[in-house]
């Protein structure tokens, strides 16, 4: 009961911000509170954000024990998290702290701690931001994840039934269960939404579809929109925090009432940056000036929904996947993965699947069907011409299907 009341309280306290000055004043206050009370040995004692070091996942994990404020060792945390993954039972806790592993795309797994209070807050917030209006209808939510955690189960309350689908289970089983439960809200990684959209056995008719956990690519979005005759909403959520959501207009906004975001510019002209995040509320494992390895593209146009939260045109993937190539003068040149992606999908409408790996100056291109390779070749040569690049050596291969649990990266720099 305490938990439900907590979620309702949080739900009711989440406000919409339609005035930039009001938002800035709010952020200033929350930031000051955060810095004054982080309670962590790792971070400095200062009221100025610029006195705090900019950290990344590696530094965050290396200093796990001095950053967390609940005296949990890395060894202890890993033990609980791995045991949960193994048994698929995610109710294990250390005290009132849930432990989760972040899937991560680069192999270095992160570990995150969430207290009961933080989990309640998270649940109230995500419900307020993502539930279709009017807010107090009954909802059956189907949530697909690589691993469950107490964090997600906490939404099982009020008028909401929340069913967790384990991505490790076979697709056919998911389709059967979805058909039987008829969820009103479907939340899943983009590649799973894509597979569901392609299934002719699926009979569900959700009111809202939300893509999570990986980049939603335009061609997948188009397919899902067509199949379910509605917008695809997005949640930009990582273990470091719930960073952005789509509004009723379908546009992505940063959750600037949860996190303070500084921009590490990658290319100011095109609006590309990596976010450096400071979470106002995480206290068992404070997140301060944490730089994410994602490329976000800023949208400067205000949104019709009236929110003054900054808009994101899209989330493009990881900085690590920017291809390091050369221009015609043999000078180093950074080619954004999105350019390669577009060149490939515009080559032919027969392309069903593709992936690209750039390794030791060779671009390995995996295609299904492989018969489209001449068209893809032509389109890539055009791209190199447009960008003034030195021609890259290509090798073509048939596409290999990966596991559902693998986070998909269409374009990889190895
Ligand atoms: Zn909006």
Q: What percent of the chain has pLDDT over 70?
A: 91
What is the model's pLDDT at position 407?
66
Q: Which CATH superfamily is domain 2-37+117-319 in?
A: ANL, N-terminal domain (3.40.50.12780)
Q: Is the pLDDT of residue 260 over 70?
A: yes
- Lowest mean pLDDT of 173-182, 204-213, 361-370, 395-404, name the range: 395-404
The Cβ-side half-sphere exposure at 265, using a 13 Å CA radius, reads 5
The pLDDT of 312-330, averaged and rounded, is: 84
Q: Is the pLDDT of residue 361 over 90?
A: no
The pLDDT of 338-358, averaged and rounded, is: 86
The model's confidence at residue 78, banded by pLDDT at 50, 70 and 90, is confident
Q: Is the pLDDT of residue 339 over 50?
A: yes
Whole-number Å distance, alpha carbon 317 to ligand 1 midpoint, is: 22
Whole-number Å distance, alpha carbon 20 to ligand 1 midpoint, is: 14
Domain ranges of the chain: 2-37+117-319, 322-413
The pLDDT of 235-254, averaged and rounded, is: 86
The model's confidence at residue 237, banded by pLDDT at 50, 70 and 90, is confident
The model's confidence at residue 228, banded by pLDDT at 50, 70 and 90, is very high
Whole-number Å distance, alpha carbon 308 to ligand 1 midpoint, is: 8
The pLDDT of 268-292, averaged and rounded, is: 94
In terms of average pLDDT, the best of 111-125, 128-142, 146-160, 279-293 is 279-293
In this prediction the pTM is 0.79
What is the model's pLDDT at position 106?
44
Whole-number Å distance, alpha carbon 79 to ligand 1 midpoint, is: 41
The pLDDT of 265-276, averaged and rounded, is: 93
Each residue of 135-159: pLDDT tens digit?
667 888 888 876 656 555 555 666 7
Whole-number Å distance, alpha carbon 298 to ligand 1 midpoint, is: 13
Whole-number Å distance, alpha carbon 254 to ligand 1 midpoint, is: 10
Q: Among 103, 113, 28, 89, which residue's Cα sits nearest to residue 284? A: 113
The model's confidence at residue 163, banded by pLDDT at 50, 70 and 90, is confident
What is the model's pLDDT at position 319?
72
Whole-number Å distance, alpha carbon 234 to ligand 1 midpoint, is: 12
Looking at domain 322-413, its CATH class is: alpha beta
Whole-number Å distance, alpha carbon 54 to ligand 1 midpoint, is: 29
Whole-number Å distance, alpha carbon 193 to ligand 1 midpoint, is: 23
What is the model's pLDDT at position 221?
92
SS3 string, the chain, reads: CHHHHHHHHHHHHCCCCCCHHHHHHHHHHHHHHHHHCCCCCCCCCCCCHHHCCCECHHHHHHCHHHHCCCCCCHHHHHHHHHHHHHHCCCCCEECCEEEEEECCCCCCCEEEEEEHHHHHHHHHHHHHHHCCCCCCCCEEEEEEECCCCHHHHCCCCCCEEEEEEECCCCHHHHHHHHHHHCCCEEEEEHHHHHHHHHCCCCCCCCCEEEEECCCCCHHHHHHHHHHHCCCEEEEEEECCEEEEEECCCCCEEECCCCEEEEEEEEECCCCEEEEEEEECCCCCCCCCCEECCEEEEEECCCCCCCCCCCEEEEEEEEHHHCEEEEECCCCEEEECHHHHHHHHHCCCCCCCEEEEEEECCEEEEEEECHHHHHHHHHHHHHHHHHHCECCCEEEEEECCCCCCCCCCCCEEEC
Whole-number Å distance, alpha carbon 248 to ligand 1 midpoint, is: 7
What is the model's pLDDT at position 394?
93
Count of all residues that appear for the chain in the document: 414
The pLDDT of 322-349, averaged and rounded, is: 85
- State the helix-helix crossing angle for 373-387 and 337-345, rounded to 10 degrees: 140
What is the model's pLDDT at position 219?
84
* Contact (CB, 8 A) for 166 and 189: no
Whole-number Å distance, alpha carbon 316 to ligand 1 midpoint, is: 19
Q: Is the pLDDT of residue 105 over 60?
A: no
Q: Which residue has the higher pLDDT, 145 or 349?
A: 349
Whole-number Å distance, alpha carbon 16 to ligand 1 midpoint, is: 11
């Amino acid at each position: 009961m305490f938990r439900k009341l907590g979620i309702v309280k949080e739900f009711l306290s989440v406000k919409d911000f339609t005035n930039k000055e009001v938002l800035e004043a709010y952020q200033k206050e929350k930031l000051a509170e955060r810095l004054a009370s982080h309670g962590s040995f790792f971070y400095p004692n200062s009221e100025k954000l610029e006195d705090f070091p900019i950290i990344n996942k590696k530094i965050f994990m290396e200093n796990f024990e001095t950053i967390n404020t609940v005296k949990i060792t890395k060894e202890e945390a890993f033990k609980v998290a791995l045991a949960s993954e193994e048994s698929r039972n995610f109710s294990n806790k250390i005290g009132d702290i849930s432990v989760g592993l972040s899937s991560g795309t680069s192999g270095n797994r992160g570990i995150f701690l969430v207290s009961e209070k933080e989990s309640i807050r998270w649940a109230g917030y995500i419900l307020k931001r993502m539930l279709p209006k009017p807010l107090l209808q009954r909802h059956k939510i189907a949530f697909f994840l690589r691993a469950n955690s107490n964090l997600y189960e906490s939404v099982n309350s009020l008028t909401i039934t929340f069913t967790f689908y384990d991505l490790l289970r076979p697709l056919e089983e998911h389709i059967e269960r979805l058909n039987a439960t008829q969820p009103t809200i479907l939340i899943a990684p983009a590649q799973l939404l894509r597979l569901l959209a392609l299934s002719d056995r699926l009979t569900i008719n959700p009111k809202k579809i939300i893509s999570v956990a990986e980049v939603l690519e335009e061609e997948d979005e188009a397919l899902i929109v067509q199949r379910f005759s509605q917008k695809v909403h997005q949640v930009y959520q990582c273990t470091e925090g719930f960073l952005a959501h789509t509004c009723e207009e379908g546009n992505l906004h940063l959750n600037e009432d949860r996190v303070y975001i500084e921009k590490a510019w990658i290319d100011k002209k095109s609006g590309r940056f990596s976010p450096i995040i400071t979470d106002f509320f995480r206290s068992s494992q404070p997140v301060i000036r944490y730089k994410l390895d994602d490329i976000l593209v800023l949208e400067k146009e205000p949104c019709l929904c009236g929110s003054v939260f900054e808009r994101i045109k899209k989330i493009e993937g990881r900085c690590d996947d920017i291809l390091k190539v050369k221009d015609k003068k043999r000078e180093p040149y950074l080619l954004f993965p999105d350019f390669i992606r577009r060149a490939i999908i515009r080559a032919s409408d027969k392309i069903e699947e593709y992936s690209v790996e750039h390794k030791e100056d060779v671009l390995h291109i995996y295609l299904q069907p492989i018969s489209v390779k001449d068209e893809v070749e032509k389109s890539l040569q055009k791209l190199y011409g447009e960008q003034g690049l030195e021609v890259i050596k290509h090798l073509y291969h048939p596409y290999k299907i990966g596991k559902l649990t693998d986070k998909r990266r269409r374009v990889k720099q190895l």
